Chain A
């Protein structure tokens, strides 16, 4: 199994993501710099990590979403390669159009860094099938722009098609419909604000993120 973690100037969860993929998926994991337009063709999994790509200039994720590697990521998404975007990675996925909606400044203007309780809203996806239906997990968040917005039509389509993967039990940032993570139409692209890679070791204070990576292993095996 082969995975890539995409790095942008300002990414800061790239190393943690690599460790999580290696430890929980046993995948050979490369770090891929954004200005290299050619991604290896034999990747089984691509992760876009958290951080502050380009210093969040213009809008969070806006400039990274227009970088050279993104065309290859869009192509991989169309081929069905599983793609996970966490935090800034989620912002990059919405800015690139791979996921609908936008992530705006948190409702209360604060940067929020703490563990939050999440509801597994869809446990049928390739990323979430290791979790039991309707369970609650605790995963850290660390963001300023995680307030999910989509127009009513998009929101209804997400709800009706089981594309909301995770919701916040308490709406910490003002997201519509408490959305913490969503899937694309074909279910192979997941964007989420919480950081599963920061919850894979008892020393992290919790291991609720493990099942996300392990679900993928089962899918790819």
Chain B
């Protein structure tokens, strides 16, 4: 996993609540057995005028001019600004894979669905919970300032606006350490292999019926 320290990038707004993972990556693309290549189908039903299927040449498909991420000014955005309960619904990790492949490194929202939030950290995407008043201000700034960019400083836990205003945010210390260092969870957990074996042996004696 790529480490996340300080990220500066263009901000794109997606001003709606309850963006679900079916919208982020529709089911027909979940048939892939790979982790990569989902970016061109991120938000597929909103982004294109036609119906997308795996194997299509997405560069030839008609774009929906009304979908905000299709506006030229947001091309190359790496920070997604959105609203409440982002990533709700299906646990599909194809959603963060698609967002990452699209180019998003950080997502700022009023709240996130639990499983999606968790999945982001496993893929080097930083989900940041931002208070509603700060979000409202950011939506206004993004709309009125073409090329609006933010710097997200994970070690300092600050979102830095170009005008100098900084928005502090919370993140679990353990998750932060993993993300800042780009650590592989499994490698970390396996350092505790002896403890897992001990636990398992005790449980097997006490509750043998969970092991048959």
Q: Do A and B bind each other?
A: no
